[in-house]
Structure 1
Amino acid sequence: YKEKDYSQELTIKYLLSHTSGLPDYFQGKGISGKSLENEITQGNDQFWTFEQAIERTKKMTPIFAPGTKGKANYSDANFQLLGKIIETITNKSYSENCQDIIIKPLGLTKTYLYQDSTDKTPKTLYYKSNELNIPKAMTSFGADGGIVSTTSDMLTFIESFFIGKLFPSSYIDELQEWNKIFFPMKSGIGIHLFKLPWIFNPTGAVPYFIGHSGLSGALAYYSPKENIYIVGTVNQVAHPDISFKTMIKLTQQIMKK
């Protein structure tokens, strides 16, 4: 950043909280002037390796120095690095770690890391009104978005996450160091805060939610105030915000009861 190498100052916390300042290799524009997201949504499905993702990141302009106060920038490069750290420490693949630490202990029966480009199990993704078949990209996402799951398994996971089945629930408070990332979201350490500003929620009818979401319109969120869990997906890459609008409507209906 500004001709200074900060690579030795990157920490796991910075990667988890998107405060690393690293550009997004997937949604950021490369040398061609296009992002990988643009390319695959326009019909150019492709494979890439961890090394290629990091090399692409290196050629892009950093957003800020790691740990800059009050700054956050969502970057899939953060998750690529975290996945590689996990593999290096455990000497096992990211898929094996997911199975051993999360999937098997929680009894998730339809959750796995997508690794076979001939696998037709996942439901179709869409980009606007067009089917989006991207098996090559799906095998390349890995730790930054390669998980296939169902709403039932997602619900089990998000409940387990917040009640302490994966780690002591006391850790949850430590994860809530919020920085603005994109409206109306704030980024914590591995989680996001979804909170509508007063102007859109003057009565407070929609509580705040903690969880995470993805580019496909998949989300898994929890409202500590109302003890509501909401999971789902719209499988719509062009308009993932539809899932949040749906979550708001569902919450309003639940609150009326």
Structure 2
Amino acid sequence: IKQANDNVNAFPDNDLAPQYAYLKAIAVGRTSKLDPLLAEFNSITTQYPNDLIVTPLVRDHLKYIEANLAEFKQRPVALIDFDSNEPRFVSQAKPIAIPAKPLTTDINAATEVKPVEIAVKPVEKPEEVKPVDVVKPASIFSAATSNEYYYVIDVADATLTLSSSRFGIGQFNRGNYPDNDLAHKLVELDNNQLIYVTSFIDLEDAKIYESSIAGQLKNIMKVPANLYRGFIISKENFEKLNSRDRINEYLEFLKDNYK
């Protein structure tokens, strides 16, 4: 608790301040009755209303406590059975994706201007040289529509410990997508580690998730920014990622097929 207080007081505007405050709140809940825990949770929602990782999760905790207030008041310590890795406390409304409106173009808006005919002496055309078609080798990956998509964070170092980063992803998912039952798992390759979030029923759902988490990765991932990258992939293509070369090959495939 003291260490969390010191960190928050030393760097109150740091992006990690809400997470330190959350760790302090959990420590208070594990050692005190309900009222001190509620004070810590309410302080987080007041001080960090725009945080997208911790604050939505704390609001869910508060809703759950309110719905089970009598039980919590009888506990000798507020969070005797608390497990931050367990599923969400309470349901929230699903985020609604608002489709972008298509651009409308009035093809009759411009006045037709007839070109002025100018007599030009014909010039002999040079012999046309046709460009040589570069044929790319066939990819092992498929652009076929899938029934299941993943969001993947590729970490280009197999020696790093990713438990803190995975905890942050879990916080983000429970706080922002409590009704989606999202899970995150880890695959370790020779040189890379893949954290993948499962699963999305179509590509558009995966893109919505990608757009929401991309701006928060700098706060979630506890590894240098130059060592990780995120992307969307179908379940079928994910099963083919068995090396760093395959990952790089897929990212090239992604550029060519999902522009």
Bigger RCO of structures 1 and 2 (CA < 8 A, at least 6 apart)? 2
User: Which one has a bigger Cα radius of gyration?
Assistant: 2
Length-normalised TM-score, structure 1: 0.28
Length-normalised TM-score, structure 2: 0.28
